[in-house]
Amino acid sequence: MRNLHIPGRSNVIGVNGMAATSQPLSTLEAISILKKGGNAVDAAIAASAVQAVIEPNSTGIGGDCFALVSIKGKKSIAVNGSGIAPKKATLDFFESSKINKISTTSPHSVNIPGAIHAWHSMHQKFGSLDFAELLISAEKYAREGFPVHEVVAKAWSENIDKLQQHPVTKAIFLRNNKSYGFGEVHQNINLANTLQSIAKNGIKDFYSGYIAKDIVSSLNKIGGLHSMDDFAEQDTIFSDSLTNNYRDIILHQCPPNGPGITVLLMMGILEKFDFTKIKPLSADRFHLQAEATKIAFEIREGSIGDPKFNDIDFHQLIQAEYINELASKISMDKIYKPKNSTITAHPETVYLTVVDKDQNAVSFINSICFPFGSGITSNKTGVILQDRCVNFRLERDHPNMIDGHKRPLHTIIPGQVTDMDNNPLLSYGVMGGQYQPVGHSHVVQNIFDFGMSVQEAIDFPRAFILENDYQFEKSIPEDILLDLKSRGHQISYSDHTHGGGQAILIDRKNGVLIGGSDPRKDGCAIGY
């Protein structure tokens, strides 16, 4: 049991269903859908739709989506709802235009939104309620307004300059040139009308009708390369999850262009070390985590892109022999210096997870990339558009080189853990852009190596290498930082916390669900 003398949260417990999201209204919506007879997929989509309205800094229907879905105890299915680049967005175009970097506020940063297509495709494959019912609450919050929560309000205030750059965005998301603050009510009538149209007509308006036309027109007027054909080509990919064993459990991730392979690389490396002799809050633990991070990111950044455009066998990257080779690069006394990897930030995402009474589990993540995405809002639809194309490389022959209808190497990761018979044990995710693989490994180790409860594992202090600077949350003792500095790490305390997170543990022995939600965000877990 946690120390009741220290501020914190208890684990949430339930038997009939559970949801954990980064917004209370989103969690409530998921529970409401479950109680109406919807399954975990229905609840996850409805919760994400609500968050697309009430957390506009992090997510929206102008963004992308990934998910892992476990139905009736079967192996997790990976859902890739990432958007393609416009057909004309070739490296030749950028070179001839003398563009050597894609700005986060440029129309060239906008890839085709994949989230709505993924939601609809998931519902067709797994859902039980009418799709329209899953959008009712989201439309209501957009039309009638919602109170801005604390962490969202902070992000809003930090991005006023971006929100002022585009007149439609400014009109919707600023009031008298000021951001919406904590407790203030925000409305987006145009977005409400868009959600109403999708509820009535499905996704055809979004990908071939007036919504697509307005997005294309809005982007073309400011130099975008987008076309209606691009929207028509968007699809959702269903595949087997990418897996690897960690001790006596199986880790499930989405295959590339998702970045889940980074988690499998990190965990494969960390498995080679004896954590029974290492304390969870220690210099050795954070040193190993940093070294595994650098090595895994170096491999990912140099080797991974959209598999439709590359012949790389990414399964070979997580084979035991190669993992052994990578682990041998780590010394406990000094740091590893990667040759070609600098880890940068992409800080905004929403992650949620739902498990229903039948123990169907959904691990679900939706994002518009940087805070408020590109800052570009479609003229008539209220849809703020993501800037995920900034993840591409403008580097010829690189696996992640930009190209027409190519998907960029992503940052958002849903995660699941099963036992060796593929029975679901944990549905989880950690937010925070490039931090996410580190957060995944951190939480999984906290639970399965260090025996922490779900909430303890999420709460536990974090650190992350950003631009080669090892940044620590301020709850980590100074003596640990000094020890790591002596090994060669560049050390600092961060002004920001690292990520967020949600998790639901399936206790199969007792037939209960145990959930936690990250205090670094506004949300909560609820079970019943």
Catalytic residue set? 349
Residue 93 burial (CB < 10 Å; 0-12/13-18/19+)? middle
Burial call 237-248: b when 16+ CB within 10 Å, e when fewer:
beeebbbbebee
Are 428 and 517 a contacting pair, CB within 8 Å?
Answer: no
Helices (H), 451-524: 454-459, 478-486
Full DSSP string of 211-253: HHHHHHHHHHTTT----HHHHHH---EEEEPEEEEETTEEEEE
Phi-psi region of 403 (alpha: psi -120 to 50; beta: other; left: phi over 0): beta
User: What is the enclosing helix (H) or strand (E) of 68?
Assistant: strand 64-70
473 HSE (CA, 13 A, CB side): 13
The answer to whether 385 touches 373, Cβ cutoff 8 Å, is: yes
Contacts 24+ apart (CB under 8 A), 181-184: 181/148, 181/153, 181/156, 181/157, 182/148, 182/149, 182/150, 182/153, 183/147, 183/148, 183/153, 184/147, 184/148, 184/153
Q: How far apart are CA 399 and CA 389, in angstroms?
A: 14
Contacts of 311 (CB under 8 A, 6+ apart): none
> What is the distance of C-alpha 360 from the center of its chain?
20
Compute the chain's Rg from CA coordinates: 22
The answer to whether the CB of 378 falls within 8 A of the CB of 280 is no
Compute the distance between CA of residue 526 and CA of residue 510 in angstroms, rounded to an integer: 18
**Going by C-beta distance under 8 Å and a sequence separation of 6 or more, which residues neighbour residue 489?**
287, 290, 335, 470
Which of these, 157, 195, 171, lies nearest to 51 by C-alpha position? 195
Per the listing, tokens 């995660």 go with 415
Q: Which residues of 123-132 are buried (b: 16+ CB within 10 A; e: fewer)?
A: beebbebebe
359 Cβ contact partners less than 8 Å away, ≥ 6 residues apart: 73, 424, 506
* DSSP assignment string, 114-155: -HHHHHHHHHHHH--S-GGGGGHHHHHHHHH-EEPPHHHHHH
Assess contact for 29 and 137: CB atoms under 8 A. Answer: yes
